[in-house]
Structure 1
């Protein structure tokens, strides 16, 4: 059989399972309107300036993009006050995760992180022959920094901290995170996944930008998929001190960030008004949904993202199927070991109103059948 030719780790890998695409559901012909609240996309879309820049860039799509995304790296450097040479760009944050693990992990090396969290840490560690070391999150669904430190051995090469964490939306105190990176042994590199970092709404909260400037041993990963609404364009990046960023640049595939995507990302960074509109809308709708969900008897974890992690006090696989009949796609969390929880993206005001109405109708229907 041809499977005998496969690399030995292939059978250990679970494919990434995204939320079902709205167009796929619509094309089935059963629903005229679909609300995709499972993949944490930006309901306001990309900046109009970014859209215009991408449309213009399409006219030059017969040219290769800049090999290293120099203009984007310069724009990011101006934003963060970091030398552009300390950045690397890629085809989404997941591609950056692949580069980080490929750059540092040899067969037999360990990669430590808490779970539940983003599945690509596990997959990419196995792919290079490394050993994933998974630590449970705390009872309040936060990364357990002390347990991670206790799990580090001579074989440990990387530790991943997803902050805010996906799927729980929780964060750890920034002073605890700073101390954690200071305590890492010299043979271990910290990786801070801040895919949702721009949504943290805590005054003076330190992020990877501050940690890098303080010389801490950390690689920070970010994306344009969430706040900036460019999920379909796949733009991610990392920044770190020179000795950490050089191996990523070495293993990065040529032209990893395409011309259209780079144009959109640069323009998105320049549209501060759209960014603030997204953050304001997200906060308003988050507060409204939390209040309404609590009135329905659900428990909602404190979040610092554009999604909610909710204990809906019932089998959310079954509830998800009922919502699907009305055109709503949410993310049941049984796959992470939380059968009564769901991760629900914060949609537009209209989407959220319709979701709440659908949930109330399902509840009333269930009550009438008792």
Structure 2
């Protein structure tokens, strides 16, 4: 078979072990997953009500235009409905952008480490990938990224807050960057963790859309909204950009249940505010632990924190998993001595921190 050369050595996404896998492997009755930045508080009760009271015919295709969801999101964000592009998770929006703008004659610029799907899709499309390392604080180096842009560049990816560091781009530096980016370059601003941000100098991306027509924002219902299982994400841009991307979108790409659940979730912004508040308190639990144990961490504007244990992240990961807590090893994230921990409920955070203390105590005995 004549496979495309760029996929010959491309690896498929490898999900971590499921909770059931870990229970069986270590003979555990209880397992807490704090690895994928899901919402520990689930979703809005609006969604539960929707699922109980709305019968969906499984024999009929969903609304290919996602009209109800589109109108509710447009109203909530104060944008025109034509400025929205819906995807099967924001992953699919990233895939659509890559398919529309990248090929073997194009280059794309991104930070490293960052969300891996930017690079993954660029490889599939055969584009030249230009990566700029984050600085020592885990932040984008926008000046260096700007220097990597030339006439071949078609997309720049910015993840803010960034995964896996939780750092964010400040308003002034983003505006300076956008002022300098050539008009032929699409700037994708990935705001998967937008709802968790509390920083006072975070930008207003929706306002920036009015001044920068080459900007596209991505958001998702998988994180703060607690709908990861429904796979609904979206892009926001000016209508010309959305009009170019819409033909790339697969028909009926958002299932009926996902559309309805997301539409119900949008109407409960109090749930989002409450989750943001709980998340801030949860982060402080980890910060306090790190300060007590003199562990380096990166202050986060997301719902996770990256903690440096000074040893292989795989060792920390394996120990915590054996105790019933699934986190993410930094070995695969570009921070080999760290683990990324999703902020859970107060009780979950306290429990995993106790196990982290156990790990540190064992390290002292070695």
Q: Please give the TM-score of this superposition, normalised by the length of structure 1.
A: 0.95
- Aligned position for 2:20: 23
Structure 1 gaps of 5+ residues are none
Q: Give the CA deviation at 1:23.
A: 2.7
Change (3 A) 1:261 1:70: same
Q: Which of 275, 289, 293 pairs up with 1:296?
A: 293
Q: In structure 1, how many angstroms separate the alpha carbons of the residues matched to 2:54 and 2:127?
A: 40
Q: Tell me, in whole angstroms, the C-alpha distance in 1 between the residues paired with 2:263 and 2:20.
A: 28
The size of the alignment, in residue pairs, is 366
1:106-156 residue CA offsets vs partner (Å, 9 max, x unmatched): 322001001000111111011112111111111211111101110011111
Separation (CA, whole Å) in 2 of partners of 1:57 and 1:115: 44
Q: Provide, for residues 174-210 of structure 1, a one-character-per-residue CA deviation record: whole Å limited to 9, x for no partner.
A: 1211221121112211110000111110236323212
Comparing 143-152 and 21-30, the one that deviates more: 21-30
1:15-42 per-position Cα deviation (integer Å, ceiling 9, x unaligned): 2233322133234472211111110010
Aligned to 1:322: 319
How far the C-alpha of 1:243 sits from its partner, in A, is 1.8
2:306 to 298, 305, 309: 309
Please provide the CA RMSD for this pair. 1.6
The equivalent residue for 1:142 is: 139
Note if 1:115 corresponds to 2:112. yes
More displaced stretch, 223-232 vs 6-15:
6-15
Q: Give the match for residue 207 of structure 1.
A: 204
Corresponding position: 1:351 with 2:348: yes
Aligned equivalents of 2:230, 2:24: Cα separation in 1? 23
Of residues 124-133 and 142-151 in structure 1, the stretch that sits farther from structure 2 once superposed is 124-133
Contact 1:346 1:352 in 2 (8 A): yes
Please say which of residues 299-308 and 240-249 is displaced more in the overlay: 240-249
Residue of structure 1 in register with 2:4 after alignment: 7
- 2:8 alignment partner, SS class: helix
Aligned partner of residue 230 in structure 2, secondary structure? coil
Contact 2:56–2:257 under 8 Å retained in 1: no
Q: What is the aligned partner in structure 1 of residue 256 from structure 2? A: 259
Of 358, 363, 370, which aligns to 2:360? 363
Q: Which residue of 2 aligns with 1:231?
A: 228
Any conservation in 2 of the 1:297–1:312 contact (CA below 8 Å)? no
Task: Classify the secondary structure of the residue corresponding to 2:132.
Answer: strand
Deviation per CA, 1:60-89, whole angstroms, max 9, x where unpaired?
Answer: 333221111111111111111110011010
Correspondence 1:220 to 2:217? yes
Q: Secondary structure at the match of 2:306?
A: strand
